[in-house]
Amino acid sequence: KQEVTQIPAALSVPEGENLVLNCSFTDSAIYNLQWFRQDPGKGLTSLLLIQSSQREQTSGRLNASLDKSSGRSTLYIAASQPGDSATYLCATTGTSGSRLTFGEGTQLTVNP
């Protein structure tokens, strides 16, 4: 059974700082890994999807990497802004390509 862990559970940084969020998973037989953002009381917004054959994906100030063999992914946020404050969730899809298995998220606060 896949287990996904995110560290840290919460992070507070000053505006402008570069930061890294960590995600680890126990079963390396994944189809892909997806990073999401969730604002309080809202649904999930997809940020980046990395397929199992890929090493990284970039979108604007976000860069996600994937190391399947070690069961790790990182989300790098450059030049953080107060608007980046949210909970960030990572999730894996198994080789059947169906259900997502989520971590518990990292709650990020960027202080002006």
**Using CB under 8 A as the criterion, which residues of the chain lie in contact with another protein when the complex forms?**
4, 31-32, 34, 36, 41-46, 49, 51, 89, 91, 93, 97-105
Q: CB nearer to another protein: give 18 or 58.
A: 58
Q: What is the Cα–Cα distance from 48 to 27, expressed in whole angstroms?
A: 20
Nearest approach in angstroms of CB 52 to another protein is 10
Nearest approach in angstroms of CB 43 to another protein is 4
Nearest approach in angstroms of CB 94 to another protein is 10
The number of C-alpha atoms within 13 Å of 57 and in the hemisphere containing its C-beta is 16
Residue 31's alpha-carbon distances to 21, 57, 63, in angstroms, are: 21, 15, 19
Nearest approach in angstroms of CB 89 to another protein is 6
Bin 20: left if φ > 0, else alpha if -120 < ψ < 50, else beta. Answer: beta
Q: CB nearer to another protein: give 18 or 45.
A: 45
Q: What share of the chain is helix, strand, coil (3-state, %, to 5)?
A: 5, 60, 40
Q: CB nearer to another protein: give 53 or 69.
A: 53
